[in-house]
Amino acid sequence: MGSQVLSHSDAGTYEGPIPIDMYAGSVAEKSAQQARPHPDMADRAALARARGLGCVRGITVMIVIEALTTLCLYGIWQLWHIIR
């Protein structure tokens, strides 16, 4: 049974290797297109950098606000104990 599956019933009709020249060009073009960055990729990269810097700025601002709040609360606590 296994030999029947692997055997070729039409002996003598084999035409040789399959011509892939017509497909090779499209594969090469696709790989070349994938290698080139898309025009929007530069815009996306710039946007990602801007968002990343925005995130860093936001975190920095929040740390500064937290430090100032802590200093203000400490100052109020000190004044409270001086007055009492």
* Cα–Cα dist 58/50, whole Å: 12
Using one digit for the tens of pLDDT, what is the confidence trace for 10-66?
555 666 666 666 565 666 666 666 666 666 766 777 777 777 777 888 899 999 999
Q: Would you place residue 73 in the very low, low, confident or very high pLDDT band (cuts 50, 70, 90)? A: very high
Q: Phi and psi (nearest 5°) for 17? A: -65, 150
pLDDT surpasses 80 at 75: yes
- State residue 55's pLDDT score: 82
At 84 the pLDDT is 83
Q: Measured in whole angstroms, how far is the alpha carbon of residue 43 from the centre of its chain? A: 14
Looking at residue 56, its pLDDT comes to 85
